[in-house]
Amino acid sequence: MGIFSRKGPSGFSASSTAEEVTKGIDGTGLIAIVTGASSGIGAETSRVLALRGVHVVMAIRNMDAGAKVKEAILEEISNAKIDVMELDLSLLASVRKFAADYNSSGLPLNILINNAGVGASPFKLSQDSIELLFATNHLGHFLLTNLLLETMKSTSRESNIEGRIVNVSSLLHPYGYREGIRFDKINDESGYNRYYNYAQSKLANILHANELTRRLKEEGVEITANSLHPGAIGTNITRHDSFLQCFFSVLGIFFSKTIQQGAATTCFAALHPQVKGVGGVYFSDCNIAKPSSKAKDADLATRLWDFSLSLTDAKQ
């Protein structure tokens, strides 16, 4: 990866690792939730945040896998503060239970990293009868963020420390449907294209962060929300796609990042002083990048917010 990368204005590049971009940063006293932390980027993000002193809550679907990641982190960092809590983002009831349990725990919350996701998979409805990619990659995180927001606000006020929300999106977000979000065809199996639907869900991640930023600024709340592309990485998210699996096995050495490099932009957005006060921005390779025109459409972002509210409210 190094021969294709050069440092940007931040001083980092595509070849920078999560440890490198957080070197010298003391996260002691901070607490972060990382979704999808049982493997890949989420596990590495959790490890590096713990290495910097952050108390990490791993929000995961597979509790056995999460326990193994926690054990591995504690073997390396004996004084790490790591908790594991069950969360299935495809189930709105699971999201509500997780948020209720967390909010009632009395723990503060400084950082929320919406990292979990599923790749371009065949058509399937969630148990809430919502197309699975949209339900997992966007709607679950949308609801989770809303339900944890009051805890983040109170933490920011009481600690006088800026809160940060980080949505992991994708460089593929422009390559979806022409209208961006198919509000009237979210569950349309006949017109389903798994690559377009994946792109749609990743576009939604950016639009969510942008609209959330607008609302937080209106309230005068010291919480930022940003989105990012982690890089091309051959993680478990490719398990439904034989083409991508083949690509990473054959050509990945030239074009893809390591897990350590893939977690860098997430950790940069979550911890680095350069990001203080920065909201509604899309990052790639630890530098500000330009998302698609659809991703910058404020009207589309507002419409998605209202649409997401209607779906989550309807599934009480």
Give the residue numbers marked as catalytic.
192
Instruction: Tell me the CA end-to-end span of the chain in Å, nearest whole number.
Output: 46
Q: Do strands 111-114 and 82-86 pair parallel, antiparallel, or not at all (unpaired)?
A: unpaired
Q: Rounded to whole angstroms, how far apart are CA atoms 138 and 100?
A: 19
Written as six digits, the tokens of 271 are 């911890």
Alpha-carbon distance of 111 to 211, in angstroms, equals 18
CA dihedral over 287, 290, 291, 297, signed as positive or negative = positive
What DSSP character marks residue 125? B
Q: What is the rounded CA–CA span in Å between residue 277 and residue 279?
A: 6
Quickly count: other Cβ atoms within 10 Å of residue 196's Cβ.
18
Q: Are 148 and 33 in contact (CB under 8 A)?
A: yes
Over its C-alpha atoms, the chain yields an Rg (Å, rounded) of 18
In three-state secondary structure terms, 225 is: strand
What's the sign of the alpha-carbon dihedral 102, 155, 117, 184?
positive
β-partners of residue 116 are none
C-alpha span between 156 and 302 (Å, rounded): 25
Q: What gap in Å lies between CA 190 and CA 7, rounded to an integer?
A: 45
Bridge partners, residue 219, by sequence: none
